[in-house]
Amino acid sequence: MTQHPGVAYTLTLVGLAMAAFIVGGCADDAANQSTAGAFYAGTGPDGVRVVVRSSPRRIVAANACAAEFLLALVPSERIAGVPDTVFDGFAIGFDDPDQWPNRVFHRYRGIEILALRPDLVITHGHQDGATTRALRNAGKPVVQLSAITGFEDLIDTIELVARICDAEERGRELVSDLNRRHGILSKNTTRRRLRVVSYANFAGGWTQGGKSTADLLIEMAGMINASAEGKAGENHYPIDIERLTQLDPDLFLVGVDPGGGSPGRDFLRNESALAGLRAIKHGRIVTLPTALWTSSSHHLVTAAEQLAAAVDALKL
């Protein structure tokens, strides 16, 4: 019997609807069952549900910040993968890649991360979203951390990572130590009038305004981030000579790579148009190791301590 095309089309739609209903129902059942007996089940900072079946033993850090958090919280043998950038002077505690055999990846891509057989991946929102989705679709729990813009954010992030990684005791110890050191920094008000510009120069000048790690670093050290004043940009933004001249900060903060190089410092010292700035005239360019200067982890507190000590030594 020949079936009318309209009838066939209707039956197809009905079949698809029924399949979707059945699959949807099964998915709901599976989702409910998947959290039963799970070591951790909760909503991550990005609003996505995270379910970790058992205490994670093969954790992959997708970036230097995540790697630093993990190294502080869990034994290194539980870290199944770190990016190769941690060995380029952008992370603390990672000196020799030979100590991490078969655990170093080059790019945050699904194929590279899955090859490490992770039972938990820790990443950030600035990383490739397609890779994060691919990992989740492959059944891998992925925690996407939020950017840290305040000390409370830092503490919340440590507590979250410690909970998910089954390292709550170590997390409490770390939080207690950071709170103590932050309290000491907060008591010193002798630097509160000083204005600082965090500066880098890579084929052009860059600084960090409000809602950035440099802003938090300068604030914890008891000073003012001049790059966040007025209608300045947030996070990283380009800054030219004219704007630097307008700001005329009390001091500059720059990073120095492991080899001692600092394009930002060199530019500030050698650019004649900046010679009249008070910070340049009086040699007030404070340096921090790049790993501290760019830190987004608990090492921010160490960076603030070193910045405060360097400024105190200037006796401004």
Q: 142: domain CATH number?
A: 3.40.50.1980
pLDDT per residue over 278-310, tens digit each? 999 999 999 999 999 999 999 999 999 999 999
Which residue among 181, 206, 221 closes a domain? 181
Same domain, 113 and 202: no
pLDDT per residue over 194-219, tens digit each? 999 999 999 999 999 999 999 999 99
Q: Check: CB of residue 125 under 8 Å from CB of residue 47.
A: no
Same domain, 195 and 137: no
Q: How far is CA 115 from CA 60, 62, 71, 265, 299, in A?
A: 11, 13, 21, 41, 30
Q: What is the model's pTM?
A: 0.88
Q: Is residue 14 part of a domain?
A: no
β-pairing, 40-43 with 120-124?
A: unpaired
| Nearest of 43, 28, 17, 313 to residue 164 by alpha carbon | 43
The percentage of residues in the chain with a pLDDT greater than 70, rounded to a whole number, is: 89
Q: Is residue 20 part of a domain?
A: no
User: Which secondary-structure segment (H or E) carries 45?
Assistant: none
- The number of angstroms, rounded, from the C-alpha of 46 to the middle of its chain's C-alpha atoms is 14
Number of domain units in the chain? 2
Which residue among 166, 181, 196 closes a domain? 181
Which residue among 117, 151, 181 closes a domain? 181
pLDDT per residue over 60-109, tens digit each? 999 999 999 999 999 999 999 999 999 998 899 999 999 999 999 999 99
pLDDT per residue over 160-186, tens digit each? 999 999 999 999 999 999 999 999 999
Same domain, 51 and 134: yes
Same domain, 172 and 254: no
Q: Is residue 258 part of a domain?
A: yes
Domain carrying residue 63? 40-181
